[in-house]
Amino acid sequence: MSLHAVLLAGGPGTRFWPWSRAGCPKPFLPIAGPTPLLRESATRVLPLVPAARLWVVTHRTLVPHARRVLRDLRGCRIVGEPRARNTAASIGAAAALALREDADATLAILPSDHSIRPRSEFLRALRAGASVSEDGSLVLFGIRPDAPATGYGWVRRGASAGRTLGLRVFEVAGFHEKPNRRRALGYLRSGRYWWNSGAFVFRADAILEEIGRCLPRLARSLSRLRAADRRGERRAFEGVFRDAPAVSIDRGVLEHASRLRMVEPRIRWSDVGSWSSLDQLLRGGSAGNVVRVPRGGGFVGIDARRCLVWSSLPHWVTAIGTEDLVIAHTRDATLVCPRSRSEEVREIVEELRRRGRREVL
Protein backbone atom coordinates (compact mmCIF):
# COMPACT_ATOMS: atom_id res chain seq x y z
CA MET A 1 0.00 0.00 0.00
CA SER A 2 1.21 3.49 -0.88
CA LEU A 3 -0.86 6.24 0.74
CA HIS A 4 -1.54 9.45 -1.20
CA ALA A 5 -3.49 12.44 0.16
CA VAL A 6 -5.91 14.30 -2.11
CA LEU A 7 -6.99 17.71 -0.79
CA LEU A 8 -10.17 19.07 -2.35
CA ALA A 9 -9.81 22.85 -2.47
CA GLY A 10 -12.67 24.44 -4.36
CA GLY A 11 -16.01 25.99 -3.62
CA PRO A 12 -17.99 29.03 -4.73
CA GLY A 13 -16.70 31.29 -1.95
CA THR A 14 -20.11 31.98 -0.41
CA ARG A 15 -19.98 30.60 3.14
CA PHE A 16 -17.79 33.32 4.60
CA TRP A 17 -18.87 36.18 2.37
CA PRO A 18 -17.90 39.02 2.36
CA TRP A 19 -14.47 37.67 3.35
CA SER A 20 -14.55 34.69 0.99
CA ARG A 21 -15.16 35.39 -2.69
CA ALA A 22 -15.31 33.32 -5.87
CA GLY A 23 -11.68 34.25 -6.53
CA CYS A 24 -10.57 33.33 -3.01
CA PRO A 25 -12.85 30.76 -1.34
CA LYS A 26 -12.61 29.38 2.18
CA PRO A 27 -9.63 26.97 1.79
CA PHE A 28 -7.34 29.90 0.99
CA LEU A 29 -8.28 31.99 4.04
CA PRO A 30 -6.74 31.89 7.55
CA ILE A 31 -10.06 31.22 9.24
CA ALA A 32 -9.08 28.85 12.05
CA GLY A 33 -5.67 30.35 12.83
CA PRO A 34 -2.81 32.35 11.34
CA THR A 35 -2.44 30.18 8.20
CA PRO A 36 -4.92 29.32 5.40
CA LEU A 37 -7.03 26.22 5.93
CA LEU A 38 -5.44 24.55 2.89
CA ARG A 39 -2.00 24.94 4.40
CA GLU A 40 -3.22 23.57 7.75
CA SER A 41 -4.71 20.57 5.95
CA ALA A 42 -1.47 19.86 4.07
CA THR A 43 0.66 20.21 7.19
CA ARG A 44 -1.68 17.87 9.07
CA VAL A 45 -0.99 14.92 6.74
CA LEU A 46 2.76 15.39 6.19
CA PRO A 47 3.87 13.05 8.99
CA LEU A 48 2.12 10.24 7.13
CA VAL A 49 2.19 11.34 3.48
CA PRO A 50 5.28 12.99 1.93
CA ALA A 51 4.80 16.06 -0.26
CA ALA A 52 5.54 13.96 -3.36
CA ARG A 53 2.32 12.01 -2.70
CA LEU A 54 0.22 15.08 -1.91
CA TRP A 55 -2.34 16.18 -4.51
CA VAL A 56 -4.46 19.33 -4.45
CA VAL A 57 -7.51 19.42 -6.71
CA THR A 58 -8.92 22.89 -7.29
CA HIS A 59 -10.38 25.05 -10.04
CA ARG A 60 -7.93 26.16 -12.68
CA THR A 61 -8.34 29.82 -11.73
CA LEU A 62 -7.33 29.03 -8.14
CA VAL A 63 -4.08 27.22 -8.98
CA PRO A 64 -1.95 30.36 -8.34
CA HIS A 65 -3.47 30.66 -4.85
CA ALA A 66 -2.68 27.01 -4.13
CA ARG A 67 0.89 27.38 -5.35
CA ARG A 68 1.39 30.41 -3.13
CA VAL A 69 -0.02 28.69 -0.04
CA LEU A 70 2.03 25.51 -0.60
CA ARG A 71 5.09 27.04 -2.24
CA ASP A 72 7.61 25.28 0.04
CA LEU A 73 6.17 21.76 -0.41
CA ARG A 74 8.37 20.50 -3.21
CA GLY A 75 6.86 17.72 -5.25
CA CYS A 76 3.25 18.49 -4.32
CA ARG A 77 0.98 18.22 -7.36
CA ILE A 78 -1.69 20.87 -7.94
CA VAL A 79 -4.41 19.83 -10.37
CA GLY A 80 -6.52 22.58 -11.94
CA GLU A 81 -9.98 21.56 -13.10
CA PRO A 82 -11.23 23.35 -16.22
CA ARG A 83 -14.78 23.46 -14.83
CA ALA A 84 -16.53 22.46 -11.63
CA ARG A 85 -18.20 19.05 -11.85
CA ASN A 86 -18.51 18.15 -8.15
CA THR A 87 -16.50 15.53 -6.29
CA ALA A 88 -17.11 12.37 -8.35
CA ALA A 89 -15.13 13.84 -11.25
CA SER A 90 -12.50 15.40 -8.97
CA ILE A 91 -11.84 12.18 -7.08
CA GLY A 92 -12.00 10.03 -10.20
CA ALA A 93 -9.43 12.21 -11.95
CA ALA A 94 -7.15 12.12 -8.90
CA ALA A 95 -7.39 8.32 -8.78
CA ALA A 96 -6.57 8.00 -12.48
CA LEU A 97 -3.60 10.37 -12.23
CA ALA A 98 -2.25 8.64 -9.13
CA LEU A 99 -2.46 5.21 -10.78
CA ARG A 100 -0.50 6.49 -13.76
CA GLU A 101 2.44 6.86 -11.37
CA ASP A 102 1.77 4.33 -8.62
CA ALA A 103 -0.06 1.05 -9.24
CA ASP A 104 -0.46 0.54 -5.46
CA ALA A 105 -1.93 3.97 -4.71
CA THR A 106 -4.40 4.28 -1.84
CA LEU A 107 -6.10 7.66 -1.60
CA ALA A 108 -7.04 9.66 1.49
CA ILE A 109 -9.66 12.09 0.19
CA LEU A 110 -9.75 15.12 2.47
CA PRO A 111 -11.63 18.41 2.38
CA SER A 112 -9.05 21.17 2.67
CA ASP A 113 -11.20 23.55 4.71
CA HIS A 114 -12.02 21.66 7.92
CA SER A 115 -10.66 22.08 11.44
CA ILE A 116 -9.44 18.85 13.07
CA ARG A 117 -7.82 18.32 16.47
CA PRO A 118 -5.66 16.65 17.66
CA ARG A 119 -3.44 15.77 14.73
CA SER A 120 -2.20 12.56 16.36
CA GLU A 121 -5.74 11.14 16.46
CA PHE A 122 -6.43 12.28 12.91
CA LEU A 123 -3.32 10.41 11.72
CA ARG A 124 -4.36 7.31 13.65
CA ALA A 125 -7.73 7.45 11.90
CA LEU A 126 -6.03 7.72 8.50
CA ARG A 127 -3.86 4.70 9.27
CA ALA A 128 -6.91 2.76 10.40
CA GLY A 129 -8.86 3.75 7.31
CA ALA A 130 -5.99 2.76 5.04
CA SER A 131 -5.77 -0.63 6.76
CA VAL A 132 -9.52 -1.26 6.44
CA SER A 133 -9.41 -0.30 2.75
CA GLU A 134 -6.77 -2.90 1.85
CA ASP A 135 -9.45 -5.47 0.94
CA GLY A 136 -11.07 -3.06 -1.52
CA SER A 137 -13.55 -1.51 0.92
CA LEU A 138 -14.44 2.15 0.56
CA VAL A 139 -13.96 3.83 3.94
CA LEU A 140 -15.55 6.99 5.26
CA PHE A 141 -14.98 8.78 8.54
CA GLY A 142 -18.11 9.26 10.63
CA ILE A 143 -18.24 11.86 13.38
CA ARG A 144 -20.25 11.05 16.49
CA PRO A 145 -22.89 13.84 16.63
CA ASP A 146 -23.46 16.09 19.61
CA ALA A 147 -26.15 18.33 18.10
CA PRO A 148 -29.07 18.06 15.62
CA ALA A 149 -27.03 19.62 12.80
CA THR A 150 -28.94 20.41 9.62
CA GLY A 151 -25.90 21.48 7.61
CA TYR A 152 -24.28 18.02 7.39
CA GLY A 153 -25.13 14.79 5.68
CA TRP A 154 -25.74 11.90 8.09
CA VAL A 155 -24.69 8.24 7.87
CA ARG A 156 -26.69 5.41 9.39
CA ARG A 157 -24.44 3.03 11.27
CA GLY A 158 -24.67 -0.66 10.44
CA ALA A 159 -23.28 -3.71 12.19
CA SER A 160 -19.95 -3.59 13.97
CA ALA A 161 -16.94 -4.60 11.88
CA GLY A 162 -14.57 -4.73 14.84
CA ARG A 163 -11.75 -2.37 15.69
CA THR A 164 -8.64 -1.27 13.84
CA LEU A 165 -5.82 0.48 15.69
CA GLY A 166 -8.24 0.81 18.59
CA LEU A 167 -10.90 2.64 16.55
CA ARG A 168 -14.39 1.29 16.03
CA VAL A 169 -15.31 0.22 12.50
CA PHE A 170 -18.86 -0.28 11.26
CA GLU A 171 -20.69 -1.30 8.16
CA VAL A 172 -22.71 1.53 6.59
CA ALA A 173 -26.48 1.05 6.45
CA GLY A 174 -27.40 4.22 4.57
CA PHE A 175 -26.78 7.85 3.67
CA HIS A 176 -29.14 10.71 4.46
CA GLU A 177 -28.91 14.18 2.98
CA LYS A 178 -29.00 17.31 5.12
CA PRO A 179 -32.18 16.90 7.22
CA ASN A 180 -34.56 19.43 8.68
CA ARG A 181 -34.25 20.05 12.41
CA ARG A 182 -37.01 17.65 13.45
CA ARG A 183 -35.48 14.79 11.53
CA ALA A 184 -31.98 15.67 12.75
CA LEU A 185 -33.25 15.49 16.34
CA GLY A 186 -34.56 12.01 15.61
CA TYR A 187 -31.21 10.95 14.19
CA LEU A 188 -29.38 12.30 17.22
CA ARG A 189 -31.67 10.64 19.77
CA SER A 190 -31.58 7.28 18.01
CA GLY A 191 -27.83 6.87 18.56
CA ARG A 192 -27.55 5.13 15.18
CA TYR A 193 -26.56 8.06 12.97
CA TRP A 194 -23.19 9.76 12.56
CA TRP A 195 -22.21 12.92 10.70
CA ASN A 196 -20.58 12.38 7.32
CA SER A 197 -17.23 14.19 7.53
CA GLY A 198 -16.70 14.16 3.74
CA ALA A 199 -13.32 12.42 4.22
CA PHE A 200 -12.64 8.97 2.75
CA VAL A 201 -9.93 6.38 2.20
CA PHE A 202 -9.90 3.79 -0.57
CA ARG A 203 -7.60 2.11 -3.02
CA ALA A 204 -7.43 4.07 -6.25
CA ASP A 205 -8.28 1.00 -8.32
CA ALA A 206 -11.24 0.20 -6.04
CA ILE A 207 -12.88 3.61 -6.43
CA LEU A 208 -12.38 3.50 -10.20
CA GLU A 209 -14.03 0.07 -10.27
CA GLU A 210 -17.05 1.46 -8.40
CA ILE A 211 -17.18 4.51 -10.67
CA GLY A 212 -17.23 2.10 -13.61
CA ARG A 213 -20.25 0.35 -12.13
CA CYS A 214 -22.15 3.49 -11.10
CA LEU A 215 -21.05 6.21 -13.54
CA PRO A 216 -19.99 4.45 -16.76
CA ARG A 217 -19.67 7.60 -18.86
CA LEU A 218 -17.28 9.15 -16.36
CA ALA A 219 -15.42 5.83 -16.13
CA ARG A 220 -14.78 5.81 -19.88
CA SER A 221 -13.23 9.28 -19.71
CA LEU A 222 -11.08 8.22 -16.76
CA SER A 223 -9.88 5.15 -18.68
CA ARG A 224 -8.77 7.41 -21.51
CA LEU A 225 -6.92 9.59 -19.01
CA ARG A 226 -5.11 6.59 -17.50
CA ALA A 227 -4.10 5.34 -20.93
CA ALA A 228 -3.05 8.69 -22.45
CA ASP A 229 0.59 9.38 -23.20
CA ARG A 230 2.19 12.63 -22.07
CA ARG A 231 1.18 14.45 -25.23
CA GLY A 232 -2.45 13.37 -24.90
CA GLU A 233 -2.79 13.73 -21.13
CA ARG A 234 -4.05 17.30 -21.14
CA ARG A 235 -6.70 16.59 -23.76
CA ALA A 236 -7.85 13.48 -21.90
CA PHE A 237 -7.98 15.42 -18.63
CA GLU A 238 -10.13 18.11 -20.24
CA GLY A 239 -12.41 15.36 -21.53
CA VAL A 240 -13.06 14.05 -18.03
CA PHE A 241 -14.58 17.36 -16.97
CA ARG A 242 -16.38 17.88 -20.25
CA ASP A 243 -18.18 14.54 -20.04
CA ALA A 244 -18.61 14.09 -16.27
CA PRO A 245 -21.99 14.43 -14.59
CA ALA A 246 -22.13 17.11 -11.90
CA VAL A 247 -22.61 14.70 -9.00
CA SER A 248 -20.93 14.14 -5.65
CA ILE A 249 -18.96 10.99 -4.91
CA ASP A 250 -21.44 10.27 -2.10
CA ARG A 251 -24.56 10.34 -4.25
CA GLY A 252 -23.02 9.09 -7.47
CA VAL A 253 -20.98 6.21 -6.08
CA LEU A 254 -20.84 5.60 -2.33
CA GLU A 255 -24.62 5.31 -1.83
CA HIS A 256 -24.56 2.38 -4.27
CA ALA A 257 -21.34 0.69 -3.14
CA SER A 258 -21.46 -2.75 -1.56
CA ARG A 259 -18.10 -2.68 0.24
CA LEU A 260 -18.53 0.33 2.47
CA ARG A 261 -17.12 0.81 5.97
CA MET A 262 -17.13 3.64 8.51
CA VAL A 263 -14.28 4.42 10.90
CA GLU A 264 -15.10 6.52 13.96
CA PRO A 265 -12.13 8.80 14.71
CA ARG A 266 -11.53 10.35 18.14
CA ILE A 267 -11.17 13.91 16.95
CA ARG A 268 -12.69 17.33 17.50
CA TRP A 269 -14.02 18.20 14.08
CA SER A 270 -15.66 21.20 12.47
CA ASP A 271 -16.41 21.74 8.81
CA VAL A 272 -16.05 25.50 9.48
CA GLY A 273 -19.24 25.83 7.50
CA SER A 274 -20.51 29.27 8.47
CA TRP A 275 -19.68 32.41 10.43
CA SER A 276 -21.37 30.98 13.53
CA SER A 277 -18.98 27.99 13.50
CA LEU A 278 -16.14 30.31 14.55
CA ASP A 279 -17.44 29.99 18.10
CA GLN A 280 -15.77 26.58 18.20
CA LEU A 281 -12.43 27.94 16.98
CA LEU A 282 -12.00 31.42 18.50
CA ARG A 283 -12.08 32.37 22.14
CA GLY A 284 -14.90 34.64 23.24
CA GLY A 285 -14.35 37.70 25.37
CA SER A 286 -16.53 40.06 27.37
CA ALA A 287 -20.25 39.20 27.35
CA GLY A 288 -19.57 36.23 25.08
CA ASN A 289 -18.60 38.40 22.12
CA VAL A 290 -16.09 36.86 19.69
CA VAL A 291 -14.00 39.64 18.12
CA ARG A 292 -11.38 39.36 15.41
CA VAL A 293 -10.23 42.78 14.21
CA PRO A 294 -6.67 43.75 13.18
CA ARG A 295 -4.55 45.89 15.49
CA GLY A 296 -5.51 49.53 15.14
CA GLY A 297 -9.22 48.72 15.24
CA GLY A 298 -11.51 46.93 17.65
CA PHE A 299 -15.00 46.52 19.03
CA VAL A 300 -16.91 48.63 21.52
CA GLY A 301 -20.29 47.31 22.63
CA ILE A 302 -22.90 48.63 25.05
CA ASP A 303 -25.31 45.90 26.10
CA ALA A 304 -23.92 43.81 23.23
CA ARG A 305 -23.89 40.06 23.90
CA ARG A 306 -22.81 36.95 22.05
CA CYS A 307 -21.94 38.85 18.88
CA LEU A 308 -19.35 37.67 16.38
CA VAL A 309 -17.44 40.70 15.09
CA TRP A 310 -14.93 40.32 12.28
CA SER A 311 -13.11 42.85 10.11
CA SER A 312 -10.41 42.51 7.47
CA LEU A 313 -9.31 46.09 8.20
CA PRO A 314 -8.22 47.96 11.36
CA HIS A 315 -11.77 49.22 11.69
CA TRP A 316 -13.68 50.24 14.83
CA VAL A 317 -16.98 48.37 15.06
CA THR A 318 -19.55 49.56 17.60
CA ALA A 319 -22.89 48.15 18.66
CA ILE A 320 -25.64 49.05 21.15
CA GLY A 321 -28.24 46.66 22.49
CA THR A 322 -27.41 43.81 20.13
CA GLU A 323 -27.49 40.08 20.78
CA ASP A 324 -26.43 37.04 18.74
CA LEU A 325 -25.37 38.95 15.63
CA VAL A 326 -22.70 38.37 13.01
CA ILE A 327 -21.02 41.62 11.93
CA ALA A 328 -18.45 41.05 9.17
CA HIS A 329 -16.72 44.00 7.50
CA THR A 330 -14.38 44.22 4.50
CA ARG A 331 -13.14 47.04 2.29
CA ASP A 332 -16.14 46.93 -0.04
CA ALA A 333 -18.91 45.02 1.75
CA THR A 334 -20.43 44.49 5.20
CA LEU A 335 -22.66 41.68 6.45
CA VAL A 336 -25.01 41.88 9.43
CA CYS A 337 -27.24 38.93 10.27
CA PRO A 338 -28.49 36.86 13.22
CA ARG A 339 -26.01 34.16 14.11
CA SER A 340 -28.77 31.59 13.77
CA ARG A 341 -29.12 32.49 10.08
CA SER A 342 -25.46 32.71 9.10
CA GLU A 343 -25.79 29.61 6.91
CA GLU A 344 -28.11 31.67 4.68
CA VAL A 345 -25.28 33.97 3.56
CA ARG A 346 -25.25 32.24 0.18
CA GLU A 347 -28.73 33.67 -0.41
CA ILE A 348 -27.30 37.18 -0.10
CA VAL A 349 -24.61 36.21 -2.60
CA GLU A 350 -27.27 34.96 -5.00
CA GLU A 351 -29.25 38.19 -4.60
CA LEU A 352 -26.15 40.25 -5.34
CA ARG A 353 -25.54 38.11 -8.41
CA ARG A 354 -29.11 38.67 -9.61
CA ARG A 355 -28.59 42.41 -9.22
CA GLY A 356 -25.38 42.28 -11.25
CA ARG A 357 -23.07 43.27 -8.37
CA ARG A 358 -20.25 41.02 -9.49
CA GLU A 359 -17.61 43.39 -8.12
CA VAL A 360 -18.39 42.14 -4.61
CA LEU A 361 -18.65 38.45 -5.46
Q: Which among 127, 316, 99 has a CA at the least distance from the CA of 203?
A: 99
pLDDT at 177: 86
Q: Evaluate the CA torsion angle 260, 109, 90, 175 in order and state its sign.
A: positive
Q: Residues 304-339: pLDDT tens digits? A: 999 999 999 999 999 999 999 999 999 999 999 999
Q: Residues 177-212: pLDDT tens digits? A: 889 989 999 999 999 999 999 999 999 999 999 999
Contact 317, 309 (CB under 8 A): yes
Strands 154-164 and 268-270 turn out to be: unpaired
Confidence (pTM): 0.94
Arithmetic mean of pLDDT, 145-158? 92
Phi and psi at residue 354, in whole multiples of 5°?
-60, -35
pLDDT at 248: 94
pLDDT at 283: 72
Helix pair angle (86-101, 216-227), 10° resolution: 30
Contact 221, 88 (CB under 8 A): no
Arithmetic mean of pLDDT, 159-170? 97
pLDDT at 89: 97
CATH superfamily of 2-270: Spore Coat Polysaccharide Biosynthesis Protein SpsA; Chain A (3.90.550.10)
CA distances, 185 to each of 179, 193, 194 (Å): 9, 11, 12
231 band by pLDDT with thresholds 50, 70 and 90: confident
Show me where the domains of the chain are located: 2-270, 276-360
230 band by pLDDT with thresholds 50, 70 and 90: confident
Mean pLDDT of the chain: 94
Helix pair angle (216-227, 233-243), 10° resolution: 170
Return the biggest CA–CA distance within the chain.
Answer: 67
Arithmetic mean of pLDDT, 76-86? 95
pLDDT at 352: 96
Q: Which among 318, 319, 275, 311 has a CA at the least distance from the CA of 293?
A: 311
Residue 243 makes CB contacts below 8 A (sequence gap 6+) with 217, 218, 220, 221
With left for phi above 0 and alpha for psi between -120 and 50, is residue 271 left, alpha or beta?
A: alpha
User: Above 90 in pLDDT, residue 284?
Assistant: no
pLDDT at 315: 94
